[in-house]
Amino acid sequence: MTRPRNTQPPKVQLRLYDAWLTICELSALTPGRGVAALLPDGRQAAVFRDRSGRTYAIDNRDPFSGAAVLSRGLTGSHQGRPFVASPLLKQRFDLESGRCLDDGTVTVTTYEVRTRPDSAHTD
């Protein structure tokens, strides 16, 4: 007898401390655009999917303006590094490291991201 294949759509999860939190279905992420996700502690994450299918997550709060807007920023790449530009003051943040490309003294939190076909719970 064969096991039925998992027909659940892939889910995007963020690592918070020592558990994984399901954020959304992968299909909810439009390549090149971000979405904001409310975290259990009240913070927000900005979650992105690039055109090659890689997913990233950083803090949604723009450290220069204090507004939770990075999920609305424009994505691109600089010297092969993916970034999002704040929609307010246009500073660019590396999606892998969180480092501001325009002011090396500023960073935003990054989150480890994974995509799983069956994510009905955190583990």
Specify whether the CB–CB gap between 22 and 55 falls below 8 A: no
pTM of this structure: 0.88
pLDDT digits (tens, 9 = 90+) for 18-28: 999 999 999 99
Mean pLDDT over the full length of the chain: 91
Domains of the chain with CATH codes: 11-116 (2.102.10.10)
Percent of the chain with pLDDT over 70: 90
Residue 16 has pLDDT above 60, yes or no: yes
